[in-house]
Chain A
């Protein structure tokens, strides 16, 4: 079995059986970042082959603090598939995940295709149908979230689930950089942040993603949902927890965990 096939099978099986695996970089330390995105493509294709479709993309490590922690100087990205959607108001069922964590995010829904190496935040905003308060559900397929940059890229950026708030907001006239957010777990305040925590501006993070995709001859499509990156540290969840993220100007998103 080829090295790549071995890694892909491990990641796909871990997700399918909700059983954690170990970082492959222990065995294959020489895998490059470009190779890691090749692996990611195959991991996503495995989901598509099971009948799911790509509904958008997500960014990770968009905050300086997390990049320093992971010893990288750029964000990373992955793909969202239809089986990851938790519809508005639906609970997060913990047993469907290995070790779920949640992050509050600002999500974009595009109304036209976006591609090319020169896309900026302004282009992203102009191509945005609506923004939503969102909860990103992470679920690293690596035990204890112990991974390197290449591991997590191949693991599709720990993508596992996401849910959007109930109101689609027109971003016209809103500076998403300044939008404030408080995150509560079971009524206790965990973190506060503003949109600038995401790559300086959430739309700039999405523009970065589009430019990265251009290098691989890809882009985003009309109707795609983009999770622009966690505004705070990820929060561990367990059955019985309730997570509430209150956003100024965008509304509140609440997800009960079963």
Chain B
């Protein structure tokens, strides 16, 4: 796959999404204007947004994987996940209030976050490398949000749009990956006390560590890698749940503990 967009066109799209993030006025799908957009085109647009965020003083603190579950991939007619940097401005603390009005059409997902204590670089990163470079794993929530109106996204749109990342919430508990199988770690996800989903670690590409190996190998040709200290969001363990003001979401993980988001 190659890029089809000119640098100017990609930059114009980046501005369009960056503006939508700040005005909270969603835009029409980029793929309506450029139906031939590839994954690489999406990354080109995404890099334009990241550049703008860095220029505004933000910082890359890790990456997120999206579309790691088969149902989501089938919905978009693709066979691989997508990725985007997680910025410092995305990170929220466990159980703190999060302002709902800062998002356009937010949905909540429960995920397992990996915290690295060594760099990881492609092109042949394996699950073993990921496990060796992992300081520990944490319970996490991701608020996904689409700057494309009504979530009418194709792959090119969501990759461009920071893989639809809105914010993340990390538990304060970082658990070393010893003596348990991350694929089998169970999770119950509640909204206002009611169970809305359950899942286990394997929902992320069969194994979240394998999902990270894919991420590292995909970043390699883009000239990027993961750094010690990075947090990696490995993808939802269930279908995303719409968010309303006043909702309290809690993902309770076996072995990792709970993480909570209060939507104010």
A248 and B200 contact, Cβ closer than 8 Å, known pairs A180-B254, A189-B70, A194-B254: yes
Q: B185 within 8 Å of A by Cβ? A: yes
Give the distance to chain B from A10, nearest Cβ to Cβ, in Å.
Answer: 37
Cβ–Cβ contact A196 & B198, under 8 A: yes
Task: Check A246 for interface membership: any CB of B closer than 8 A.
Answer: yes
Q: Give complex CA distance A246, B199 in Å.
A: 13
What's the Cα separation between A197 and B195 when bound, in Å? 8
B236 CB to closest chain A CB (Å) equals: 11
Q: Which of A64, A178, A189, A200 contacts B186 (CB 8 A)?
A: A178
How far apart are the CA atoms of A200 and B254 in the complex, in Å? 15
Residues from chain B with a CB closer than 8 A to the CB of A177 are 188, 252
- Answer whether A248 and B206 are a contact pair too, CB < 8 Å, given A181-B200, A182-B183, A196-B195: no
- Of the candidates B180, B181, B183, B199, which one forms a contact with A194 in the assembled complex, judged by CB atoms under 8 Å apart? B199
A246 lies within 8 A of B184 (CB): yes
Bound-complex Cα distance A179 to B255 (A): 9
Task: Say yes or no: A248 contacts B254, CB within 8 Å.
Answer: yes
Task: Enumerate chain A residues within 8 angstroms of B184, measured Cβ to Cβ.
Answer: 180-182, 246-248
The interface bits of chain B over 195-225 (1 if a CB of A lies within 8 angstroms of the residue's CB, else 0) are 1001111110010000000000000000000
Distance of A120 from chain B, by nearest CB (Å) = 18
Pick the residue among B70, B187, B206 that contacts A180 (CB under 8 A). B187
Min CB distance B96 to A, Å, is: 24
A193 to B187, CA, bound (A): 7
Tally of A-B residue pairs with Cβ under 8 A? 76
Q: Is the interface of A mostly helix, strand, loop or mixed?
A: mixed
A180, A195, A246, A249 — most chain B CB neighbours (10 Å): A180
Residue contact B198 to A197, C-beta cutoff 8 Å: yes
Judged by a CB distance under 8 angstroms, whether B103 is at the interface is no
A178–B254 contact, CB under 8 A?
yes
Encode contact with A along B47-90: 1 for CB under 8 Å, 0 otherwise.
00000000000000000000000100000000000000000000
- The residues of B that contact A247 with a CB separation of less than 8 Å are 184
**If A193-B200, A194-B254, A248-B254 touch, does A180 touch B186 (CB 8 Å cutoff)?**
yes
Of the listed residues B185, B198, B201, the one surrounded by the most CB atoms of chain A closer than 10 A to its CB is: B198
Q: With an 8 A cutoff between CB atoms, is B115 at the interface?
A: no
Q: How many residues of B contact A (CB 8 A)?
A: 22
Asked if B18 is at the interface (CB within 8 A of a chain A CB), the reply is no
Indicate if B30 sits at the interface (CB-CB under 8 A): no
Q: Indicate if the CB atoms of B254 and A179 lie closer than 8 Å.
A: yes
Number of interface residues of A (CB under 8 A): 21
Interface status of A192 (Cβ within 8 A of chain B) = yes
B195 adjacent to A182 (CB under 8 Å): no
CB interface residues, A 183-232, toward B, < 8 Å: 189, 192-197, 200, 231
CB within 8 Å of B: which A90-126 residues = none
Decide: A248 and B186 in contact? CB cutoff 8 A. Answer: yes
Q: Does A178 contact B252, Cβ atoms closer than 8 Å?
A: yes
Residues of A within 8 A of B186 (CB): 178-181, 193-196, 248
Which among B201, B206, B237, B253 is the interface contact of A178 at CB below 8 angstroms? B253
Q: Are B187 and A194 in contact (CB-based, < 8 A)?
A: yes
Given contacts A178-B186, A179-B254, contact A193 B195 (CB under 8 A): no
Listed A/B pairs (18) with beta-carbon separation below 8 Å: A175-B254, A177-B252, A178-B186, A178-B252, A180-B184, A180-B185, A180-B187, A180-B199, A181-B184, A192-B198, A192-B203, A194-B188, A195-B198, A196-B195, A196-B198, A200-B195, A247-B184, A248-B181
- B residues sitting closer than 8 Å to A (CB atoms) are 70, 180-181, 183-188, 194-195, 198-203, 206, 237, 252-254
- Given contacts A189-B203, A246-B184, A249-B254, could you give 10 more A-B pairs where the C-beta distance is less than 8 Å? A179-B186, A179-B254, A180-B186, A189-B202, A192-B198, A192-B201, A193-B199, A194-B198, A197-B198, A247-B184
